Amino acid sequence: MCLTQLFLQNEAAYACVAELGELGLVQFRDLNPDVSAFQRKYVKEVRRCDEMERKLRFLEKEIKKDSIPMLDTYENPEAPQPREMFDLEATFEKLENELREVNQNEEMLKKNFAELTELKHILRKTQQFFEEVEYERRRFGRGRGVSISQDTSDDQQPLLGDYSVAQSRMKLGLNEGERQALDSLAMEDAPSHHDGTKLIAEREGQPKPHLKFVAGVIQRERLPAFERLLWRACRGNVFLRQSEITEPLTDASTGAPVNKAVFIIFFQGDQLKTRVKKICEGFRATLYPCPDTPQERREMSIGVMTRIEDLKTVLGQTQDHRHRVLVAAAKNVRMWMTKVRKIKAIYHVLNFFNLDVTQKCLIAECWCPVTELDRIQLALKRGSEESGSTVPSILNRMDTSEAPPTYNKSNKFTQGFQNIVDSYGIAAYREINPAPYTMITFPFLFAIMFGDLGHGTIMLLAGLFLVLQEKRLEAARIKDEIFQMFFTGRYMIFLMGCFSVYTGFIYNDAFSKSFNLFGSSWGNIFPFPLDEKAREQAITNLGGLEASPMLIPEKAYSGEPYPIGVDPIWVLAEANKLNFLNSMKMKAAILVGIAQMTFGIILGYHNFKYFNSKLDILYTFIPQIIFLSCIFIYLCLQVIMKWIAYDAAGGYSVLGYFYPSSNCAPSLLIGLINMFMMKSRDDGFVDGNKYCNTSIPPGKPGGCNMVGLCHLNNWYPGQHLVETILLVIAIVSVPVMLFAKPYFLYRRYRHKTVHYRDLNDDDVPIVLNGDGGGVSGSYPVRTNILQRTLATC
């Protein structure tokens, strides 16, 4: 990496940055960090882009609202020239205005439509109310058999004008509130009379107290509160009937469906009328004129219906127009969005630049990889040519003491691995990039855990599919996050599959079944006598095994191991299959894991050596490697030793101790625990450490007398001493690892500050352009120690 300075002609800067942007190889530095966002040079352009983006978002929203598919070609349009911006702006402006106008018209029409629909419902429902009343009145009158004055013809029929109706209503099981309302209404009507017929008879000829009503529509969910408030505010002197409109109406402004209900309120007097109207207004209920007589209502209803029909056609035309506009826009909206974003990004970058003194060119600083300088030069040249500028752009390498950003070159194969490594932390500039090693170790470690031939094959095929279909899948642009994850890791999946097949083969494991390719090395030691008795006899002969048959290593094992991988016989072992496989796999995993850790530490050593950091080598690398070898590498050696030196049969000496049989093979897990506990153990496996015969029962002469639990004993001379020393060294290296480096850095820092104070009393330290300041305040010892603790963990 190197820091470079770019001198760009004012008019060429845009094109050059556009070219560099397409290349994606440089990282620009903000040269005016102190200037706030709205004081920069190209803020006007950025703002124009914002505005364009807003318009596009508006368009997109409208397109989505009509669920028109947006054409997405996935082509990558070139960043448009600055002068194209005006065209784009004009296009968007025109589209937006057109759309707004259409929307406005549509909204108005829809509002009209909604109002008319509501009116239609009101007329229909009120008609029902009135008809109900009429029916009840007739029935009631007929039932009583009393003459009802004939001259109260249909048209003049006052609503609820007589008490009898109220009475009959009550019988129909009206709720409490309604009953009260009716009661009070009736009381006002006829304070002293209880006989309705009498009342009517009396009333004939005199002007009737007129009940008025208003009808309207209200949102269904507001109805209960509305009713309650109405009741309270008018002291129960109004009567409300309501009925739900079953089909949801659409809200004119938002287009969302709303449920509404029709209500009709009866009341008396003008004061109540204003009050009721106020409440209606407060609850945003819309009132509609509703004529008094059925005749007029019918006429109005017909009028409304025709108007609704007319409106429907107009509305249809408006919607068609809107649809056409949107479909035309939908073809381009995605591409426009990309273009606008590119312009915006370019101006953002241009805002990073400095103007030089002559105001003729812009100065930019950027990091770029040294190997790619040629391509960058070329891009600059292209940019300058495109803009028709006469003076070429100049690229100038600068010297700096700043640490450059890390740039890891990657291709489609390494990208996935690089991502994984980066998620743990990006290596500092010039540190060894661990990603290439990861390409083998990561899938291999995965396979050690996963190891199954069958599953591995499936995985391999899946990975292979992704790899082979890579071009097609890439073109399909599947946005799904999970799929993206798999797709970017396709090479990793492929490799993991390969390695899993290998380890699965070694583990001899495919879907938990095994192959017997070369013939097992274990044979059956049980004869097959036909009768029960003979078999029992045979088993007793074989060493008194009770119920579970067991292959005794000494007898069943042929002496030649299975050529490669795990012997298939182990699948049949019911009791100790897991014990054996777990122990084997765990040991293998420990070996590979520790090898990996050691390798990591050695990589660290190379880093330290490259940066010439003696402190790190002395106080980080050395204690780390000591710690590791004292405990873990020692353990690995033990594992290998156990595998090589202790076999199934036994009866020979290993490292000076007589090893009688496989049940005395040293237990490493318990051994490790004992090492930490520094527990004293017996030496050797058998009494007196001399040859004995395992076939002779213990206690008899020549038989093996095991010392305690023989597999827990020390298994080489001086083991206790060696382990104690290793442990002490390991423990001692921990504080060195943690505190030594911070301490020495702290000492150096204090030494330095004192040193500086003597020399630079009146010297101002020279600060490079854009350089961050040095460490200010006290040296952060604590943070450093913390960091190291975390790293060690």
Residue ranges binding another protein (CB under 8 A): 36-39, 43, 46-47, 50, 53-54, 57-58, 96, 222, 225, 228-229, 232-233, 275, 278-279, 281-284
> Quick one: 283 or 465, whose CB is closer to another protein?
283
What does the angle CA 16 – CA 22 – CA 25 come to, to the nearest 5 degrees? 90
Q: Closest approach of Cβ 31 to another protein, in Å?
A: 18
> Quick one: 16 or 99, whose CB is closer to another protein?
99
> Quick one: 274 or 579, whose CB is closer to another protein?
274
Nearest to residue 500, comparing CAs of 462, 565, 448, 465?
448
Nearest to residue 361, comparing CAs of 386, 394, 397?
394
DSSP code at position 296:
H
- 354, 356, 360, 366 alpha-carbon torsion, rounded to 10°: -40
768 token code pair? 């490079």
Q: Closest approach of Cβ 50 to another protein, in Å?
A: 7
The Cβ-side half-sphere exposure at 636, using a 13 Å CA radius, reads 16
What does the angle CA 739 – CA 744 – CA 748 come to, to the nearest 5 degrees? 150
Q: Where are the alpha helices (DSSP H) in 145-233?
A: 163-171, 176-189, 196-203, 223-233
162 token code pair? 């007589």
> Quick one: 217 or 439, whose CB is closer to another protein?
217
Q: Closest approach of Cβ 229 to another protein, in Å?
A: 6
Four-residue CA torsion sign, 577, 583, 586, 591? negative
Nearest to residue 45, comparing CAs of 16, 7, 86, 13?
86
Q: How far apart are the C-alpha atoms of 77 and 20, rounded to whole Å?
A: 15
Q: Closest approach of Cβ 420 to another protein, in Å?
A: 29
Element (H, E) at 149: none
> Quick one: 94 or 228, whose CB is closer to another protein?
228
> Quick one: 193 or 275, whose CB is closer to another protein?
275
Q: Closest approach of Cβ 226 to another protein, in Å?
A: 9
> Quick one: 47 or 606, whose CB is closer to another protein?
47
Q: Closest approach of Cβ 222 to another protein, in Å?
A: 7
568 token code pair? 């298939």
Nearest to residue 429, comparing CAs of 364, 488, 349, 370?
370
Q: Closest approach of Cβ 776 to another protein, in Å?
A: 18
> Quick one: 58 or 779, whose CB is closer to another protein?
58
Q: 266 forms bridges with which residues in the sheet?
A: 213, 239
> Quick one: 152 or 286, whose CB is closer to another protein?
286
The set of residues, in sequence order, having a beta carbon less than 8 Å from that of 504 and lying 6+ positions away, is 447, 451, 452, 453, 454, 455, 456, 510
Q: Closest approach of Cβ 282 to another protein, in Å?
A: 3
Q: Closest approach of Cβ 224 to another protein, in Å?
A: 9
The set of residues, in sequence order, having a beta carbon less than 8 Å from that of 753 and lying 6+ positions away, is none
Nearest to residue 582, comparing CAs of 454, 451, 670?
451
> Quick one: 194 or 284, whose CB is closer to another protein?
284
Residue 420 class from Cβ within 10 Å (0-12 exposed, 13-18 middle, 19+ buried)? middle
Q: 265 forms bridges with which residues in the sheet?
A: 214, 240
> Quick one: 54 or 144, whose CB is closer to another protein?
54
Q: Hey, how many other C-beta atoms are within 10 angstroms of the C-beta on 24? A: 7
Whether 402 contacts 34, CB under 8 Å: no
Q: Closest approach of Cβ 105 to another protein, in Å?
A: 18
Q: How far apart are the C-alpha atoms of 318 and 112, rounded to whole Å?
A: 14
> Quick one: 225 or 728, whose CB is closer to another protein?
225
> Quick one: 22 or 115, whose CB is closer to another protein?
115
> Quick one: 81 or 103, whose CB is closer to another protein?
103
> Quick one: 229 or 249, whose CB is closer to another protein?
229
> Quick one: 236 or 404, whose CB is closer to another protein?
236
> Quick one: 230 or 707, whose CB is closer to another protein?
230
Q: Closest approach of Cβ 239 to another protein, in Å?
A: 18
Q: Closest approach of Cβ 464 to another protein, in Å?
A: 44
Task: Name the pairing type of β-strands 652-654 and 657-659.
Answer: antiparallel
Q: Closest approach of Cβ 58 to another protein, in Å?
A: 7
Q: Closest approach of Cβ 346 to another protein, in Å?
A: 18
Q: How far apart are the C-alpha atoms of 352 and 750, rounded to whole Å?
A: 38
Q: Closest approach of Cβ 325 to another protein, in Å?
A: 18
Whether 40 contacts 348, CB under 8 Å: no
Q: Closest approach of Cβ 768 to another protein, in Å?
A: 25
**Helices 84-144 and 333-350, interaxial angle, to 10°?**
130
Strands (E), 211-334: 212-219, 239-244, 249-250, 257-258, 260-267, 286-288
Strands (E), 325-450: 354-355, 361-368, 394-398
> Quick one: 351 or 719, whose CB is closer to another protein?
351
CA distances from 738 to 248, 621, 735 (A): 71, 12, 5
Task: Name the pairing type of β-strands 260-267 and 239-244.
Answer: antiparallel
Q: Closest approach of Cβ 225 to another protein, in Å?
A: 5
SS (H, E, C) 465-516: HHHHCHHHHHHHCCCCHHHHHHHHCHHHHHHHHHHHHHHHHHHCCECCECCC
Q: Closest approach of Cβ 214 to another protein, in Å?
A: 15
